[in-house]
Amino acid sequence: PTPANTLLLQSFEWHTPSPHPTTGQSHYVHLTNLLPSLVENLGITHLWLPPGCKANDPSGRGNGYDCYDLWDLGEFDQKWRRETKWGSKEELMVLLEKARELRVEVIWDAVLGHKTAGDEIDLGEDGSGVWAVEVEGSDRHHELCPPKKIHPWLKFNFPGRLNPSNSNPASTFQWNATHFSGVDWCDREKRNAIFKLISDPATHPRPNPSQLPFPIPGRWAEDVDQSNGNNNYLMFSSIDYTHPTVRSDTLSWSRWMITTTGISGFRLDAAQHISRSFLRDFIATSVSTHRDHHAGKDPFIVAEVWTPEVANQNTFLDGVTPSPDVLVRVFDTPLLNNFARISADVVSSSPNADLRTILLNPSDPAHASLVSLRPTQAVTFVANHDTQAGQSMETPISPDLKVLFYAFILLRKEGTPCVFWGDLYGTQGPHGVGPACQVPTGDGGRSTRSLLPTLCLARNLFAYGEQRDYFDESGCIAWTRAGTWDREGCCVVLSLGGRWTGKRMWVDRGRGERWVDLLSGRRVSVGGDGWRVFEVKGRGVGVWVREGAEGVGRF
């Protein structure tokens, strides 16, 4: 049988409340209750959970990205509470059991690049501080002062987890300044800056007086993104993966997560800031562990690599893939940028608005989408918690165009699409909006409904088989999916124009039959030769399937 299409759901947005304001339930409990309908009505196969390790602020302002202790999943009384923002470990395990029951694979958001909120100030071996040099934020090679001693909060003792009441801790490793490469706070000076941690300057080589000064040796990883001179440092306390104990403990954590919780993979947060050689080892460890415990099946590994240039993602993938038989994925940020570019052109009424450039603009090949070059390694998306309004990577997309872009990622053969919680259920916070892809209902426009659930279900039921593209007009593109012996296909039309338009396309299965648009309910007859003009209203989407296809009655 043809396997069902993969569909990943990001199960949170930046302002997701937990506990839920109406039920008082944690987000884990809310997801457990919601999961059966997500599978049945949307065809969700993979669930991306938020970072669920103990954070500096378990009440939630950092959503878990302010990671304190990887080994505490809401089990120990640390940072003023036992559970994480998202719930307790017990609630997490119930959610994971429900996911296994429904055959949903759960992806864990792994924050591996930094820690925050150490338990004590590290004053070094002699009690006077830790050697560091302050560097420029926009150029980490530019040092702003001579070496000096700082007082960083870099002792992580985990007193809530490593105490006599916990007789068999999963990890006994306690961290100090030697395990980090940089930090953003000096308690002695009571100020924020980027401090590169260094060894005692007395041990450094002396430059020849006739030579230019060279940077003081530090612990920045070199195999990282090279923006800002060196982008190893992102925030908080940056972890040094050249330290063997740090490396060993984090690899042990990956094995522990897979074997004790049953998760099916990782989303690697801020991966471009982490040593690629370490990530290669982390991925290899995760793959071998998952294969051992899941009958040879590979985990789902996807990395966050923010860049407009696909070459940077290619470099990353080549650097972290441990062997040719391992599939590592990356979120396709160049494709997202193409969506935003087309949206901006439409909003400004620019003549450059061209759907044919959605994958690759011939005049700008550096910004080609990853899915056009490495389709199996691209996770495609329209929005996420970083791109929503008010966030660090805010990416404006016109609300009436989101339905086009979601249809594009959900109904095509290439890529693994990810649906954003905020687009499915709306976002909270100061810039909160309702669910995306809204269209008027049949009551004269007094109310609306979202087409996003419909598109998700259409992917589950009808987006199968070989693909034929009709990318011959700037304002209207289309494609057909031929179906397989046991799965149905479809015809999809996207239009930027202001009026009804159509695309003449050929279908093999369904000749001489009636076809229906799942989004509007309109019906047409296809000629015996298989040709038909499939229409769509202006700035809209049409998803046409055989009227007699199994599952049409669900729309």
Confidence (pLDDT) at 205:
61
Evaluate whether residue 210 is within a structural domain. Answer: no
For residues 439 and 245, give the distance between their C-alpha atoms in angstroms, rounded to a whole number: 55
Of 455, 473, 505, the position where a domain reaches its end is 455
Q: Are 8 and 107 in contact (CB under 8 A)?
A: yes
Q: In 3D, which of 273, 490, 285, 494 has the Cα closest to residue 400? A: 494
Evaluate whether residue 138 is within a structural domain. Answer: no
Band the pLDDT of 121: cuts 50, 70, 90: very high
Confidence (pLDDT) at 445:
66
* Judgement on whether residues 264 and 408 belong to the same structural domain of the protein: yes
- Tens digit of pLDDT for each residue in 146-180? 889 999 999 999 999 999 888 889 999 999 999 99
Q: In 3D, which of 506, 500, 489 has the Cα closest to residue 540? A: 500
Q: Are 62 and 114 in contact (CB under 8 A)?
A: no
Evaluate whether residue 231 is within a structural domain. Answer: no
For residues 406 and 418, give the distance between their C-alpha atoms in angstroms, rounded to a whole number: 9
Confidence (pLDDT) at 200:
85
* Judgement on whether residues 370 and 511 belong to the same structural domain of the protein: no
- Tens digit of pLDDT for each residue in 270-299? 999 999 999 999 999 999 999 999 999 999
Q: How far is residue 385 CA from its own chain's centroid? A: 9
Evaluate whether residue 17 is within a structural domain. Answer: yes
Evaluate whether residue 177 is within a structural domain. Answer: no
Q: Can you give the CATH number for the domain in which 31 is found?
A: 3.20.20.80
Half-sphere exposure of 47 (CA within 13 A, CB side): 27
Residue 456 main-chain phi, psi, to 5 deg:
-65, -45
**Is a pLDDT exceeding 60 seen at residue 214?**
no
* Judgement on whether residues 427 and 503 belong to the same structural domain of the protein: no
Q: Which helix (H) or strand (E) holds 457?
A: helix 452-462
Task: Provide the 10 A C-beta neighbour count for residue 246.
Answer: 18
Of 428, 455, 482, the position where a domain reaches its end is 455
Confidence (pLDDT) at 208:
62
Q: Which helix (H) or strand (E) holds 126?
A: none
- Tens digit of pLDDT for each residue in 405-450? 999 999 999 999 999 999 999 999 999 999 999 998 877 667 899 9
* Judgement on whether residues 330 and 354 belong to the same structural domain of the protein: yes
Evaluate whether residue 158 is within a structural domain. Answer: no
**Is a pLDDT exceeding 80 seen at residue 209?**
no
* Judgement on whether residues 375 and 514 belong to the same structural domain of the protein: no
The more confident residue out of 210 and 309 is 309
* Judgement on whether residues 532 and 451 belong to the same structural domain of the protein: no
Band the pLDDT of 217: cuts 50, 70, 90: low
Of 435, 455, 475, the position where a domain reaches its end is 455
Question: Which residues form the domain of 495?
Answer: 465-554
* Judgement on whether residues 396 and 487 belong to the same structural domain of the protein: no
* Judgement on whether residues 407 and 261 belong to the same structural domain of the protein: yes
Evaluate whether residue 505 is within a structural domain. Answer: yes
In total, how many domains does the chain have? Answer: 2
* Judgement on whether residues 375 and 261 belong to the same structural domain of the protein: yes
> CA geometry: angle at 352 spanning 347 and 354, to 5°?
90
In terms of DSSP bridges, do strands 130-135 and 191-197 run parallel, antiparallel, or are they unpaired?
Answer: antiparallel
- CA end-to-end span of the chain, whole Å? 24
Chain-wide mean pLDDT for the chain? Answer: 94
- Which of the residues are catalytic? 269, 304
* % of the chain exceeding 70 in pLDDT: 97
Confidence (pLDDT) at 231:
82
* % of the chain exceeding 90 in pLDDT: 85
| Secondary structure (DSSP) of 217-265 | P----SSS--TTS-----SSEEE-TTSHHHHHHHHHHHHHHHHHH---E
Confidence (pLDDT) at 216:
60
**Is a pLDDT exceeding 60 seen at residue 555?**
yes
Q: Give all strands (DSSP E) within 392-475, no chain letters.
A: 416-420, 438-440, 448-450, 467-470
Q: Are 415 and 371 in contact (CB under 8 A)?
A: yes
Residue 289 main-chain phi, psi, to 5 deg:
-65, -45
In terms of DSSP bridges, do strands 46-48 and 105-110 run parallel, antiparallel, or are they unpaired?
Answer: parallel
* Judgement on whether residues 374 and 485 belong to the same structural domain of the protein: no
Q: What is the mean pLDDT of residues 298-307?
A: 97
Q: Can you give the CATH number for the domain in which 536 is found?
A: 2.60.40.1180
* Judgement on whether residues 473 and 440 belong to the same structural domain of the protein: no
Burial class (CB in 10 A: 0-12, 13-18, 19+), 465: buried
- Tens digit of pLDDT for each residue in 46-95? 999 999 999 998 777 889 999 999 999 999 999 999 999 999 999 999 99
* Judgement on whether residues 303 and 432 belong to the same structural domain of the protein: yes
Evaluate whether residue 162 is within a structural domain. Answer: no
Give CA separation, 381 vs 252, 300, 322, 501, 507, in Å: 31, 16, 25, 26, 28
**Is a pLDDT exceeding 60 seen at residue 212?**
no
Full 3-state SS string of 160-226: CCCCCCCCCCCCCCCECHHHEEEEEEECCCCEEEEEEECCCHHHCCCCCCCCCCCCCCCCCCCCCCC
Band the pLDDT of 453: cuts 50, 70, 90: very high
